[in-house]
Chain A
């Protein structure tokens, strides 16, 4: 079994959809999570607070530095992710297709170096 990171991307500061649409997204993602678990593909997953809540930590010389905000200044930031385990990229792409429909955002699929435990 291989592991894949499915990251959900959003554009920071973009207007949010209506509360009804958001509610439906939550419900759809919830339902999808149950299917992923039932099929034995679940490793971990969750939604994240906005990138503005992030802190970057760096080691410089003997010092540890904190920087307020996300590492990348890009407008597109990760809003949540899944880690799934499955046979190959085709299987991962199938899960990602369901995921993008459920959360209404683009999903990036990236393989882990290590196979699933």
Chain B
């Protein structure tokens, strides 16, 4: 049967499984660069074969087998290559790989994740490596997502792979006593990717690769690989709950719509339900961490059918818990917003003004909101102006412009 499979579909399926293939080859050959190249080679072959022959029964198995064959060919051809690769051919032999063996495959993927997010690599390098090797994005797509030239991103990736090889960054899952600390880096990379996508998707930069979707995919993958790591579950829940509001978050003119003013019927009910179920799973486990608490805060918001029905008392309590774990001024700022909602804007303003966040646009936006609630309209406007001067995001600027217009009409009414 001549199945016609569009190239885009080949690309999608391929991306879904390329991380597994890179992970397996990297263990076999002890060389991430070679693994990546050979999986790319398998992709070229897939583009040729799949549209003609249809999807193979097991796409990941097909890719791993094809890439392994290509790698073994390459290693045989270049007999003078690295001792370890010849060693590996000798150890594993030219036999066909057992791609159906799931256990080691899962371990390989975790190894790959921890290697890409090794703390000896700069955070932006960790992000680029993870997107390339684990998520299977093309270098060109990653470059476009981070608004850097493709050559710059390619060079960054090559340097990183060379450092992993030369400095002997180990390809393994950290020992249990280190796992928590090292997992923090992995989760931070996924969260960073999500936030990059989140900001971009409310700005004018259409055509950027959908990083939020990639981050959700990575988080799902982490939870599959480590179902007992509650912070990984918490992160996935957090991302799903934020993602569920995507359609309601942007007005027709592109301006950001704040949580309290969103049309909640446009929230994605399936994502909300999935996120809330994960939050409940975390609550049962009762091993709270920062991502789980942030997910719980978002679950409380998701629970309220209308903004006025939000359980702010519960949210303030969760922020207290979060602040105890991570006492940052940003957490204090968000807590103050919740305190204001409980009916104490003056108290909230006092705690906001004690924070040292002068360079952060949301600090000024929150302060402006509170000043406006307290009727200090001129000061509020100045604070909005300061927030606008610190933000380059079209969605945020649109919201600030709307707020300032509201202030102007309140001021005009007061003058009459």
Kindly provide the distance from the CB of B174 to the nearest chain A CB, expressed in whole angstroms.
8
Q: Please determine whether B120 and A88 come into contact, CB atoms closer than 8 angstroms.
A: no
The residues of A that contact B167 with a CB separation of less than 8 Å are: 89, 92, 109-111
A 79-114 to B, binary, CB cutoff 8 A, 1 in contact else 0: 000000001111011000000000000000111010
Q: Would you call B98 an interface residue if the criterion is a C-beta within 8 Å of the partner chain's C-beta atoms?
A: no
- A111 to B168, alpha carbons, bound, how many Å? 8
Chain B CB within 10 Å, residue with most, of A90, A92, A113: A90
Q: Which residues between 149 and 192 of chain B lie within 8 Å of chain A, taking CB atoms?
A: 166-170
- A41 to B170, alpha carbons, bound, how many Å? 18
Using a Cβ–Cβ cut-off of 8 Å, how many residues does chain B contribute to the interface with A? 7
- A111 to B120, alpha carbons, bound, how many Å? 13
Closest to B174 in A: A90
Q: Would you call A33 an interface residue if the criterion is a C-beta within 8 Å of the partner chain's C-beta atoms?
A: no
Q: Would you call A2 an interface residue if the criterion is a C-beta within 8 Å of the partner chain's C-beta atoms?
A: yes
Q: Please determine whether A2 and B168 come into contact, CB atoms closer than 8 angstroms.
A: yes
- A88 to B166, alpha carbons, bound, how many Å? 10
Closest to B175 in A: A90
Main secondary structure of the interface of B (DSSP, over half): loop
The residues of B that contact A88 with a CB separation of less than 8 Å are: 168-170
The residues of B that contact A110 with a CB separation of less than 8 Å are: 167
On whether A111 and B166 interact (CB within 8 A), knowing A89-B120, A93-B120, the answer reads: yes
- A89 to B118, alpha carbons, bound, how many Å? 10
Q: Which residues between 343 and 400 of chain B lie within 8 Å of chain A, taking CB atoms?
A: none
Kindly provide the distance from the CB of A100 to the nearest chain B CB, expressed in whole angstroms.
14
Chain A CB within 10 Å, residue with most, of B120, B167, B170: B167
The residues of B that contact A2 with a CB separation of less than 8 Å are: 168
Give the tally of cross-chain contacts (CB within 8 A).
22
- A10 to B169, alpha carbons, bound, how many Å? 26
- A64 to B166, alpha carbons, bound, how many Å? 34
The residues of A that contact B170 with a CB separation of less than 8 Å are: 87-90
- A111 to B118, alpha carbons, bound, how many Å? 16
- A93 to B119, alpha carbons, bound, how many Å? 10
The residues of A that contact B169 with a CB separation of less than 8 Å are: 88-90
Closest to A113 in B: B166
Q: Which residues between 80 and 112 of chain B lie within 8 Å of chain A, taking CB atoms?
A: none
- A89 to B167, alpha carbons, bound, how many Å? 6
- A90 to B168, alpha carbons, bound, how many Å? 8
The residues of B that contact A113 with a CB separation of less than 8 Å are: 166
The residues of A that contact B168 with a CB separation of less than 8 Å are: 2, 87-89, 111
- A89 to B359, alpha carbons, bound, how many Å? 37
- A87 to B169, alpha carbons, bound, how many Å? 10
Kindly provide the distance from the CB of A52 to the nearest chain B CB, expressed in whole angstroms.
32
Closest to A112 in B: B166
- A90 to B175, alpha carbons, bound, how many Å? 11
- A90 to B115, alpha carbons, bound, how many Å? 11
- A110 to B167, alpha carbons, bound, how many Å? 7
B 116-129 to A, binary, CB cutoff 8 A, 1 in contact else 0: 00101000000000
The residues of B that contact A109 with a CB separation of less than 8 Å are: 167
Chain B CB within 10 Å, residue with most, of A2, A89, A111, A113: A89
- A113 to B167, alpha carbons, bound, how many Å? 9
- A88 to B118, alpha carbons, bound, how many Å? 13
Closest to A93 in B: B120
- A95 to B170, alpha carbons, bound, how many Å? 16
Kindly provide the distance from the CB of A24 to the nearest chain B CB, expressed in whole angstroms.
28
The residues of B that contact A90 with a CB separation of less than 8 Å are: 169-170
Kindly provide the distance from the CB of B185 to the nearest chain A CB, expressed in whole angstroms.
13
The residues of B that contact A92 with a CB separation of less than 8 Å are: 167
- A84 to B166, alpha carbons, bound, how many Å? 16
The residues of B that contact A111 with a CB separation of less than 8 Å are: 166-168
Kindly provide the distance from the CB of A98 to the nearest chain B CB, expressed in whole angstroms.
16
Kindly provide the distance from the CB of A67 to the nearest chain B CB, expressed in whole angstroms.
31
- A19 to B313, alpha carbons, bound, how many Å? 56
- A2 to B167, alpha carbons, bound, how many Å? 9
Interchain Cβ contacts under 8 Å between A and B, 22 examples: A2-B168, A87-B168, A87-B170, A88-B168, A88-B169, A88-B170, A89-B118, A89-B120, A89-B167, A89-B168, A89-B169, A89-B170, A90-B169, A90-B170, A92-B167, A93-B120, A109-B167, A110-B167, A111-B166, A111-B167, A111-B168, A113-B166
Seed contacts A87-B168, A89-B170; 9 additional CB < 8 Å A-B pairs:
A88-B169, A89-B120, A89-B167, A89-B168, A90-B169, A90-B170, A93-B120, A109-B167, A110-B167
